[in-house]
Structure 1
Amino acid sequence: MDPHRAGSVAMEQSSPAEQQSNAQDQSPARPEDAGGPWAVTESLRLRRFLCYGSESATYSTRERALGPENALALMELVQAGRGQEVVEEVKRLSLEGKTVRPNPALFALAVCTQYSDAPAKQAAFRALQELCKAPGQLFTFIQYKKELKDGLRCGMWGRGLRRAVSDWYNGQDALSLAHTVTRCKHRAGWSHQDLFRLSHMKPANDSIELISKYVTKGWKVVQETYAEKESSEELLKVFAYLEAVEKAKHSTDEQEVVHLIEEHRLEREQILTNHLKSKEVWKALLKEMPVAALMRHLGKMTADKVLVPGSPEVAAVCERIQDDQALTKAKTHPFSILVASENYKRGHGKRGKRKWEPSRDIVHALDSAFCKSLSNVEPTGKRFVVGVDVSASLSSLALGSSVSTIAVAAAMSMVIARSEPEAEVLIFSEGAMVPCVISDDTSLIQVTAQLVQVLSAGTDCALPIEWASENDKTVDVFIIFTSNETQFGSTNPAEVLRTYREKTGVFSKLIVCGMATNGLSVADPDDRGMLDICGFDSRAVDIIRNFVLDVI
């Protein structure tokens, strides 16, 4: 890759301030060089925080509580009167789908609304309507404001927040709002009733007024007010929907609940726990259940005999799991399917209380879906070297996904090799470096078999970089998969990477995935081209892509 092209790509993804800084020096440089391409800037730290909740060069599957103390760049920018820039960055990353965790963006908006910068405050409240798609996110935002109120010594329920909350409810279609308030009633210590009351909300129309009365006064008052009242078609639909939810909540008749689910498309969250013990109720829910939720509940439905071998339900599930259009529309990543498949094949829940005999048809459908979803992965166009460390056993579970580390390494190696035009996969340990052959018809089992052939003591993450240097390979991104905290060999991987950059003139990046550890210390904190990942989950997949494409 031409270094000038790499610099151009980085500038396209960076903020205007960073573009000006990077334009001063487009030659390979050490991170400590002022304005160099690898300098960790304030804007980069903000983007890291918004993406995964930490300003450091380490992503952990263990989510930590958010506060001003771990969002220093955010706080500095807002205090410096640059809150509007922060809001624009929150909107950009969120709307482009670059924030793998939603809470940091909500926290950032809450911070912007707690300062006296009026334009930033107004922008943050406007963004709330656009970015908060689910009530749980709105509740979380309100809770962050409450937590910040004491620390920043400022108010909370002012005119701006009351208007923003009212607009959030009034801005929705009435039938969608009825679904919203009955599906997720409370979270983070807040409820819809709290928000309706504290925001002094004035409903925008009769249908939303009905919902407001339902939330604040209850179903009995709604019945007394609207049962005999002449109403519009929309209001009648909202009334009928809420009536269905209430009937399902109080009915003791299994068939009536099934009928309500099918007629009104009620979801699992709107059904009482007692009814969720019914096979017929689950069969009804199954018909409209999103594929992601379906894959999460495969074990439970098999254990509860909802999915019985040879049944129409199993046939329907297998068809939906393998549906090409559904996989493409949902942009389902192969790793997400791998997690569902491994959890199902295990035959028991996390704590082992629920057990089942995996259906061969469902297992085959999941394997097929994994292979089909490989074609959904968009290439980055970068040149990769993937190194899989086999110096220790890869049989432990990856933190964050309950999948074996060898399955993670095999699946991700396969994803990168199949989606990127230029990618090489290496199996390495101390004193050994073996290529892993992955073609278009190589199966996951075959890739896994290659990873267990070489075992030796000693981990040295610099080996794949040294191999690339010795063999004159031009590499944009090195990704290392290892189980635990690595021990440096004769050289530090960060130093070896910098030497490689100087030799090739390529702004190469390094990602080290410690799949079974809570702590890594390979990445140089002052080098934006290095990233540590502790554990491995579906979010890590998106973080890797963001990092490769210079988003973070």
Structure 2
Amino acid sequence: MARDPLASVSTIATLQTQRIPGRADQVKNAAGGYAYAKDTWTRLEDFLILGTSGGTYYVGEDKLTADNADVLFKAITEDGSRVVALLVDVSTARPPRAPKNRPALFALAAAYAKGDADTRQATKTALSKVARTTDHLAMFFGYYKNLGGKATGRGSAPVVGRSLRTALGSWFLDGSPDDVAFRVCKARQRKTPQGEAFNLRDVLRIAHPSADGDQRKTLFGWIAGNISDDEARDELPAVDRFLTAKAVTTVDQAVRVVTEARVPWEFLPDAMLREAKVWDALVDTVGMTALVRNLSRMTRIGTLKPMGDATRRAVARLTNAEAIHRARIHPMDAWLAMRVYASGRSQPNPRADAHTWQPVPAILDALEETYELAFGAVEPSGKRLLVAVDSSGSMSWGGGIVVGGSPLGSPYEVGCAMAAIMARIEKGNVHVIDVDTSVHTSKVTPRTNLREIASWRPSGGGTDLSLPFLWAARERLDVDGFLVLTDNETWAGRQHPSQALAAYRSGINANSRVVVATLTPGGYSIGDPTDAGVLNMAGLDASLPMVVNGFIRG
């Protein structure tokens, strides 16, 4: 009997290297398989949360960045005001949705440079909410120069009009004069992303905002260099504290201004920041983000030591849920701090000597709790959840996930860390598996120590993301939901994940729901966008446990 080619066409079981018949919304992924194209707004959300630093196993950083920039510009053309609303939500959410603010600042600059009048108005309103520090403002300014500026002999310069002046001026008008003075004193000069000098004095001259009172008028005059330090400190307590701190010459003086005036560490002379006694005082007063970032320094100089009083106080702060929430500590901030601190070594400047220290176990334990608390208070859903971590070769590549220039580890490691938090929250109602072209037992349990994960090695090999559903069906495992942590580079299966899910629902649980958490911004997903029981989201979103919890409940 002659072969009938039509007999091979199936919407029930289609090779992953082929498009499902009738599904024009499927696109080829970087591994050669087919997945569902994400819409513009889902891709934009992925970019805002995941960024593009480091690229992926298959796609280099530059191409990934260019692709996501195109998505951003398309979204601005479609609805610029919606872009601004989304980036503000991502930037200001609690718990924080993105590990770093850089993609949101880039999107804000693009919206201002390329948007229509309504978009520009929305951008002006949003600037002070998203650019909360001098660092942030420097990033926005640098990005805007590239996107909406003009070419000069030295590179680029901003196109300055009334609208830009108003936008920049809002940064100096948001908050009380003393609050703004505090921000200014913490950092008056920074670098733009291009490495150019950025000075608030120059920005003030460009913006030329109108002062709304004598205090703010004094502040503007002091920034511009037209009002003396003595006059400014009489009007603005933050300036007085700053000048007092800068004038200290002894450790005892530094400790006194920290404990009595509660000055931040940025106000102190560099020489004082090498003193253990000064950091002993700062443990109680420094901001949470600064505390997390300076644990290695404090250990190296002897402030933090086993069973020490400063260690006890640092641990108390690192495990304070309210303080973590208020400071917008992202789980990945704690994860990165834990990885760096546990290593006992750092070398920020390759030309300088490496810094070494002996990690204090109590601090490592506290950082693990910081990681968990940073997700916010999430009650167990009471639902049965199968978590599948993609353990294929593309999830274990050496470049790993990079956030703000700092490597978080491979996508597999980050996926396991996310799986661990789900296991802790849901306890006995979660089972975790690893998946490549087979299903493997995962090491993740509710008691998993996050420090162990860095030493885990994934199975590697190809990718078949239909396996979580096929395995659950074969094992007759009745679950209310699936969480798949992946880069969506599936290609090796004889059935698409969405087809395997349909079979699972038909045979085991018709109401089972799926969350696909992507760990790279590739622009596609195994999750069928037309399936109301499937949700696509960014895998670094700190609201992941909360969203999964609510979605699985239905």
| Fold-level similarity (TM above 0.5) | yes
Residues 374 and 419 of structure 1 are in contact (CA less than 8 Å); yes or no, is this contact kept in structure 2? Answer: no
* 1:468 aligned onto 2:476: no
Query: Residues of 2 paired with 1:67 and 1:460: CA distance?
Result: 24
Per-residue deviation, residues 167-203 of structure 1 (Å, max 9, x unmatched):
3312321111111111122331422101111112332
* Amino acid corresponding to residue 106 of structure 1 in structure 2: L
Query: Residues of 2 paired with 1:521 and 1:164: CA distance?
Result: 32
Deviation at 1:507, TM superposition (A): 6.1
Query: Residues of 2 paired with 1:542 and 1:475: CA distance?
Result: 22
Q: Which position in structure 2 is the counterpart of 1:376?
A: 377
Residues 150 and 158 of structure 2 are in contact (CA less than 8 Å); yes or no, is this contact kept in structure 1? Answer: no
Deviation at 1:337, TM superposition (A): 4.2
Q: Which position in structure 2 is the counterpart of 1:268?
A: 265
Q: 1:413 to 1:184 in 2, by over 3 A?
A: same
User: For 1:45-444, what aligned pairs fall within 5 Å after superposition?
Assistant: 45-53=43-51, 70-79=68-77, 82-96=79-93, 97-115=96-114, 117-150=116-149, 156-187=159-190, 188=192, 189=196, 190-217=198-225, 221-223=228-230, 226=231, 236=234, 238=236, 240-323=237-320, 325-326=322-323, 336-349=333-346, 353-366=354-367, 376-377=377-378, 384-388=385-389, 399-400=401-402, 401=407, 408=414, 411-420=417-426, 422-427=429-434, 433-434=440-441, 438=445, 442-444=447-449
User: What residue ranges of structure 2 are gaps of 5+ in the alignment?
Assistant: 1-19, 27-34
If asked which structure has higher relative contact order (CA below 8 Å, sep 6+), I would say 2
Deviation at 1:213, TM superposition (A): 1.8
Deviation at 1:212, TM superposition (A): 1.4
Residues 389 and 428 of structure 1 are in contact (CA less than 8 Å); yes or no, is this contact kept in structure 2? Answer: yes
Query: Residues of 1 paired with 2:523 and 2:165: CA distance?
Result: 45
Query: Residues of 2 paired with 1:215 and 1:247: CA distance?
Result: 17
Deviation at 1:265, TM superposition (A): 2.0
Query: Residues of 2 paired with 1:321 and 1:307: CA distance?
Result: 13
Task: Give 3-state SS (helix, strand or coil) of 1:508's partner.
Answer: strand
Query: Residues of 2 paired with 1:404 and 1:33: CA distance?
Result: 29
Residues 378 and 425 of structure 2 are in contact (CA less than 8 Å); yes or no, is this contact kept in structure 1? Answer: yes
Per-residue deviation, residues 387-446 of structure 1 (Å, max 9, x unmatched):
35678998989544456888656543321123247532125676664476845xx35389
* Amino acid corresponding to residue 262 of structure 1 in structure 2: T
Q: 1:360 to 1:507 in 2, by over 3 A?
A: closer
Q: 1:65 to 1:210 in 2, by over 3 A?
A: farther
Residues 398 and 410 of structure 2 are in contact (CA less than 8 Å); yes or no, is this contact kept in structure 1? Answer: yes
Residues 480 and 513 of structure 1 are in contact (CA less than 8 Å); yes or no, is this contact kept in structure 2? Answer: yes
Query: Residues of 2 paired with 1:310 and 1:346: CA distance?
Result: 20
Per-residue deviation, residues 75-106 of structure 1 (Å, max 9, x unmatched):
335446x3334334444444445455433333
Task: Give 3-state SS (helix, strand or coil) of 2:430's partner.
Answer: strand
Query: Residues of 1 paired with 2:39 and 2:244: CA distance?
Result: 56
Residues 315 and 363 of structure 2 are in contact (CA less than 8 Å); yes or no, is this contact kept in structure 1? Answer: yes
* Amino acid corresponding to residue 417 of structure 1 in structure 2: A
* Amino acid corresponding to residue 464 of structure 1 in structure 2: P
* 1:499 aligned onto 2:479: no
* Amino acid corresponding to residue 431 of structure 2 in structure 1: E
Deviation at 1:373, TM superposition (A): 7.0
Q: Which moved more, 1:169-178 or 1:423-432?
A: 423-432
Residues 66 and 107 of structure 1 are in contact (CA less than 8 Å); yes or no, is this contact kept in structure 2? Answer: no
Residues 388 and 468 of structure 2 are in contact (CA less than 8 Å); yes or no, is this contact kept in structure 1? Answer: yes
Q: Which position in structure 1 is the counterpart of 2:514?
A: 508
Aligned length: 490
Query: Residues of 1 paired with 2:51 and 2:289: CA distance?
Result: 24
Query: Residues of 1 paired with 2:211 and 2:58: CA distance?
Result: 43
Query: Residues of 1 paired with 2:254 and 2:298: CA distance?
Result: 18
Q: 1:500 to 1:114 in 2, by over 3 A?
A: same
* Amino acid corresponding to residue 122 of structure 1 in structure 2: Q
Length-normalised TM-score, structure 1? 0.71
Q: 1:84 to 1:546 in 2, by over 3 A?
A: farther
Deviation at 1:289, TM superposition (A): 1.8
Structure 1 vs Structure 2: percent identity of aligned residues?
23
Q: Which position in structure 2 is the counterpart of 1:20?
A: none
Residues 479 and 513 of structure 1 are in contact (CA less than 8 Å); yes or no, is this contact kept in structure 2? Answer: no
User: What residue ranges of structure 1 are gaps of 5+ in the alignment?
Assistant: 1-27, 228-234, 534-538
Query: Residues of 2 paired with 1:477 and 1:288: CA distance?
Result: 43
Query: Residues of 1 paired with 2:312 and 2:45: CA distance?
Result: 44
Query: Residues of 2 paired with 1:109 and 1:147: CA distance?
Result: 13
Residues 36 and 524 of structure 2 are in contact (CA less than 8 Å); yes or no, is this contact kept in structure 1? Answer: no
Task: Give 3-state SS (helix, strand or coil) of 1:242's partner.
Answer: helix
Query: Residues of 2 paired with 1:205 and 1:249: CA distance?
Result: 27
Q: CA RMSD in A?
A: 4.9
